[in-house]
Amino acid sequence: MSTALVTGATSGIGLAFARELAERGNDLVIVARRRAKLENVSDELRARHSINVEILAADLSKRAQLRRVADRVADRERPIDLLVNNAGFGTSRSFLKGELADEEAMFDVLCRAVLVLSHAGALSMKDRGRGAIVNVSSVAGFIPMGTYGAAKGWTLAFTETLAHELAGSGVSATVLCPGFTRTEMHVHPDGESTKLPKVMWLEPDRLVRDCLDDVKAGKVISVPGAQYKLIAGVAEVAPRGLVRALSRGAASIRRRQS
């Protein structure tokens, strides 16, 4: 039986990963900040799928707590076969209007934690000659969309580099780049989703299944949904000036809708 470690596993895409992997018979190590939520998810998955679930309460923006998770990923006596670096959050203000401390915390979770945990996982997996790493980025990583998009762009480039270094080792690295997904991140407290056409929404369960299929197929970049494959493809080949202009227009629309 394989063991997967998922960060940010109590909500959104991370919870969808945990549920799908549990349904496939994997044991789990689930990581999030709040122990009570971890215990709720753990109880659910144990009862439903009769698997082993280990919980690690950790704030990945704190170096000592991140180190504890990295040590668990690197533990060769209890190997991790699949590492899913999913934990993350976005800031609501622009870079110059927000608090620098918030930007630093976001950078630490979206970039530094991915770097540290991928290093621990890749070394341990490479020694065994098998394993897979999934780093959750965003279609925003293809487009200049604030510091969140910049961090996701780093995750995209980093994972491609990691995949190249791991080639032929039996270990794979895949970067998942979803668009707007029906999770807590895009739903207001009153239950209303961000005002976008229905066609632009992805379902977390489906995108997780598609991503795991891409991992099995050895794909380095996983972009769920035909609409977002098109956006990512255009962003990669279009002149950067045009991409920046489109990004500014999209940001203006979001501000008017908020």
Catalytic residue ranges: 148
Indicate the angle between helix axes 146-166 and 113-128, nearest 10 degrees: 10
Show the beta-strand stretches assigned E in 33-119. Answer: 53-57, 82-85
Burial (Cβ within 10 Å: 0-12, 13-18, ≥19) of residue 255: exposed
Beta strands in the chain (DSSP E): 3-7, 27-32, 53-57, 82-85, 131-136, 171-176, 221-222
Q: Are 10 and 30 in contact (CB under 8 A)?
A: yes
